[in-house]
Chains A and B, each alone.
Chain A
Amino acid sequence: MKKWLNVLEQNKRLQAIVIAVYIVVTFISLYLAQKSVVAFLLLLSSLLLLHFTTFSHRVKWVIGIVVLSVLLPLAASQGEAYQSYMEVATLVGIYIAMALGLNIVVGLAGLLDLGFVAFFAIGAYTYGIFATTQANNFMPFGQYPLSGESFWVFLIIGCIVAAIFGILLGIPVLRVKGDYLAIVTLGFGEIIRIIFNNLDKPINITNGAMGLASVQPPKLFGLEFMYPSQFYYVVLVILLLTIFVVRRLEYSKIGRAWKAVRENEIAAQAMGIPLVRTKLMAFAVGASFSGMMGVVFAAKQTFVDPTSFTLLESITILVMVILGGMGSVPGVILGAALVTILNLQVLTELTNWLNQLSLSGVVHIPDALSPAKMQRFIFGVILILFALYRPQGLLPAKNPRFDEKELKSGATNMVDGKEGAKDVYFNG
């Protein structure tokens, strides 16, 4: 087995054949067997396979984008399950972007944020209030709901509002010791939920526990985005943008400052890194991704209410980051995809299957044990096991490696360590 893997690693042509065959086979099986969730998941996991190949970055990106934007929708579009597949894929995208945001806060800057979903809620409400008639209650000017074209502006506004809240939360908290942060953010998440739940009086801003219904769908050049299959492309574009930004940030000056703060605050400060500003920056950037996805979520669900933003959601996003690997972008993407699919597909399928077994009298599973209710249990176990035995996650983060000679010869070429680094720049 190991020998084969070694051969595979040496031979790029062989890799190309393997991945091509894999993609073709899973594409055909999903195309023909529309109801098979397994085929859908296998086609998605071709991206994971792609991650382990030794192609250059550009090739990987091109193949990945082709699979996601053409092959996956095409293969899934042949049956009535099309919209539900795209729904799952869209939600996976939303959660990946949020997990990448949390990854900046937890993984890079080492600040444990347990109320991350609050920023998601802020983004969702920002769009939700202005894209329904709700804003008429308190805005002195303008006609509401705003049209669907404003969605694209609100992506930016949601970003900024969430970032402002991130900074507002950070200012008092970041001056004290790190572990207070966890509990204060935990409280913050709950408080935001309570406030949204009760802000229907004296002025009705959020419509309280009733939530905001019939949020305007986004519009672009007269085209309305109504179905998951259309939202899929919106999310895909935003997601690619997010991944690009995150990767650039990670190796920028601020990214290195975050890592320095994570490793040792005092040493980082002694090296001239402004502690509070760096941490606030992490908070703001992380929150802004979440806020942006909140806007998308509000537009996609066309309904916003406080029950979507509980502690369980915050912990779900944390589980994604821990499972995938703190600080590792590919890891977090994998973690977010796994957890979302587990939540949406595996647990519900398993519950249905067990219910059928109970109905036909094969085995009797008590209702209390139904897998859909066991989320907390599963997440708890994942958190404990990974913290104890594999704190670096499924795909650990790798630091970039530099070739000393090359640096000295003046070529300041940086490789981002994850892939590709081994073949060219490996330095004993």
Chain B
Amino acid sequence: MIEHVLQTLPQVVIDGLALGAVYAIVALGYTMVYGILELINFAHGEIFMTGAFVGTALFLSFSAFGWLSSMPMLLSLLLVLVATSIVTGLLGMGIERVAYRPLRSAPKLITLITAIGISFLLQDFVRFITELKKGNYILTGPSLFTGQVSISASSIWSGFHDASVKSSFFIVLVTAVVMMVTLDFFVNKTKWGMAMRAVAQDRETAALMSVNVNKVIALTFFIGSALGGATGVLFAIQYGTIDPYIGFILGLKAFTAAVLGGIGNIRGAMFGGIVLGLLEMFAAANLPIISNGILGAEYKDVFAFSILIMVLIFKPEGLFGKVSIEKV
């Protein structure tokens, strides 16, 4: 049993890293908004989904114009990523302006309800557009970066099996790392990043220090949504087929990642995402073996969810979060 687990380990780690990178960046969107507004932005998973659709649509029209073959692959990827993140970033800003800003002083319950409303609206809107254009709401993008690379893990240790990797894995991982490093730099080293941290700490005092709070919040939504949308593109490249309902369960898991790392903590969200991706892939590959076939791989969602429950019971502030005391 252990032998088999070890044999598949290299493949599990590689798949887990790809999935974890996606979770990590989506988790960033949750954590940033939560840090600044103490609001769970339910629509974030839907923004990710919209990004996947916008990206795939762009790729499809690129290939229809024949640009995909005439341009270097990486350049067209870069173009699509930038365009998609601008679209979804603006979408996130718009959502904040229309649905969250008027309710900033309302009870939290009401804001959560608008957030759910927005996410339903987005799901159906995307379904509608896709179905109108394609006749079916499940969309398959052009296959890009499909070259297989074999990693001979068996040469490291004979107990491992070789793992095979799609070259899109490297694209996903590199882009994710670049995005995370840039964000970390932005938040910690620039003036706007400092304003963001100030607003997260104390909105009113920040306003007194001549920080334009509304602008900072809008910027936070823009960055979080732009990252989420770009991740959607990466997801579409890596997994090929997308539908309008992928955002919901993925958003739930990314939120789990954010809680795992300590909600409001940006580096924690990155870490939590990677950990969750690895754990989930490990569970999907090995649950049937460990439990002697009682639990199938379908239970991997249940597994991710039970991690959320565990964290909430034993360490609600997350791995890197600070314990917050509510003052009256």
Is B73 at the interface (CB under 8 A from chain A)? no
Question: Which residue in A178, A191, A387 is a CB contact (below 8 Å) of B302?
Answer: A191
Complex-state Cα separation, A110 to B309, whole angstroms: 21
Q: Which of A156-183 contact B (CB under 8 A)?
A: 172-173, 175-180, 182-183
Report A170-210 CB contacts with B as 1/0, cut-off 8 Å. Answer: 00110111111011101110110011011001100000000
A201→B116 contact, CB < 8 A:
no
Interface pair A190/B252, CB less than 8 Å apart? yes
Q: Which residue of A lies closest to B259 (CB)?
A: A180
Whether B305 pairs with A384 at a CB distance below 8 angstroms is no
Asked if A368 and B301 sit within 8 Å, CB to CB, the answer is no
Q: Tell me if A359 is interfacial: C-beta within 8 Å of chain B.
A: no
Report which of A172, A188, A311, A383 forms a contact with B113, defined as CB distance below 8 A.
A383
By the criterion CB–CB under 8 Å, are A376 and B313 in contact? no
Selected contact of A197 from candidates B39, B125, B298, CB within 8 Å: B298
Q: How many residues of A contact B (CB 8 A)?
A: 50
Contact of B316 with A by CB under 8 A: yes
* Residue of B106, B116, B299 ringed by the most chain A CB atoms within 10 A: B116
Known contacts A114-B116, A183-B40, A377-B120; A201/B109 CB under 8 A: no
Contact (Cβ within 8 A) B128 A380: no
Instruction: Select which of A173, A186, A190, A376 is within 8 A of B312 by beta carbon.
Output: A173
Question: Is the CB–CB distance between A110 and B109 below 8 Å?
Answer: yes
Q: Cβ of A344 < 8 Å from any Cβ of B?
A: no
Contacting residues, chain B, for A406 (C-beta < 8 A): none
Are the C-beta atoms of A184 and B312 separated by less than 8 Å? yes
Instruction: List chain B residues, Cβ under 8 A from A382.
Output: 117
Tell me if B114 and A190 are in contact (CB < 8 A).
no
Q: Which residues from B are CB-within-8-Å of A21?
A: none
Q: In whole angstroms, what is the CA distance A114 to B248 when docked?
A: 13
Task: Say yes or no for B53: interface residue by CB 8 A criterion.
Answer: no
The reply to whether B110 and A384 form a contact with Cβ atoms under 8 Å apart is no
A9 interface contact, C-beta 8 A:
no
Give the CA-CA distance A328 to B289 in the complex, in Å: 51
Alpha-carbon distance A178/B38, docked complex (angstroms): 11
* CB < 8 Å neighbour of B112 from A112, A187, A191, A201: A112
Residue B215 interfacial (CB < 8 Å): no
Contact (Cβ within 8 A) B131 A368: yes
Closest Cβ of chain A to B311, distance in Å, is 10
How distant is the Cα of A114 from the Cα of B115 in the complex, in angstroms? 12
Complex partner residue of B110 from A266, A375, A377, A391, CB under 8 angstroms: A391
Q: Is B177 an interface residue (CB 8 A)?
A: no
- Choose from A106, A180, A195, A373 the contact partner of B109 (Cβ within 8 Å): A106
Residues of A within 8 A of B39 (CB): 179
CA distance A172 to B305 in the complex (A): 13
Q: Are B302 and A194 in contact (CB under 8 A)?
A: yes
Check B103 against A388 for contact (C-beta < 8 Å): yes
**CA of A175 to CA of B311, assembled, Å:** 12
The answer, yes or no, to whether B118 is at the interface (CB within 8 Å) is yes
CB contacts under 8 Å to A, within B85-116, are 99, 102-103, 106-114, 116
Contact (A184, B132) CB under 8 Å given A322-B113, A377-B125, A388-B102: no
Main secondary structure of the interface of A (DSSP, over half): helix
Contact B103 A190 (CB under 8 A): no
Which A residues are in CB contact (< 8 Å) with B40? Answer: 179, 182-183
Q: With A190-B249, A191-B302, A311-B248 as known contacts, state yes or no: A376 contacts B108, CB within 8 Å.
A: no
Tell me which residues across on chain B come within 8 A of A172, comparing CB atoms.
309, 312-313
Tell me, yes or no, whether A366 is within 8 Å of chain B by CB.
yes
User: Given A202, A380, A388, which contacts B294 in the complex, CB threshold below 8 Å?
Assistant: A202
A183 and B110 in contact (CB under 8 A), knowing A173-B312, A194-B301, A201-B296?
no
A381 is an interface residue with CB less than 8 A from chain B: yes
Tell me the bound Cα distance from A182 to B326 in angstroms.
20
Asked if B123 is an interface residue, CB under 8 A from chain A, the answer is yes
State whether the Cβ of B47 lies closer than 8 Å to any Cβ in chain A: no
Given contacts A190-B249, A387-B114, A391-B110, contact A376 B294 (CB under 8 A): no
Find out whether the CB atom of B132 lies under 8 angstroms from the CB atom of A176.
no
Query: Quick check: is A315 within 8 A (CB to CB) of the other chain?
Result: yes
**A residues near B23, Cβ cutoff 8 Å:** none
Q: Is the CB of A383 within 8 A of B117?
A: yes
Q: Is B293 an interface residue (CB 8 A)?
A: yes
Question: Which residues of chain B are near A112, meaning CB under 8 Å?
Answer: 109, 112-113
Residues of chain B lying within 8 A (CB to CB) of residue A391? 106, 110
B283-327 to A contact mask, C-beta < 8 Å, 1/0: 000000000011010110110010011001100100000000010
**A424 part of interface (Cβ distance < 8 Å):** no
Give the residue of B112, B119, B124, B125 whose beta carbon is less than 8 angstroms from that of A182. Answer: B112
Find out whether the CB atom of B309 lies under 8 angstroms from the CB atom of A381.
no
Question: A184 to B305, alpha carbons, bound, how many Å?
Answer: 8
Once the chains bind, are B103 and A202 in contact (CB under 8 Å)? no
Give the CA-CA distance A266 to B248 in the complex, in Å. 32
Q: Which of B121, B259, B326 has the most CB of A within 10 A?
A: B121
Q: List 16 A-B contacts (CB under 8 A).
A: A173-B312, A176-B312, A177-B316, A180-B312, A184-B312, A187-B305, A190-B252, A198-B296, A201-B294, A318-B116, A367-B131, A377-B124, A377-B128, A379-B117, A387-B103, A391-B110
Interchain residue pairs A-B with the least CB separation, the first 9:
A383-B117, A380-B120, A380-B121, A368-B131, A384-B117, A377-B124, A376-B124, A387-B114, A380-B117
New contact pairs (19) apart from A195-B302, A380-B117, A388-B102, CB-CB < 8 Å: A112-B109, A112-B112, A114-B116, A179-B108, A179-B112, A190-B305, A198-B299, A311-B248, A315-B116, A315-B120, A375-B124, A376-B120, A379-B117, A380-B118, A380-B124, A383-B114, A384-B118, A387-B103, A391-B106
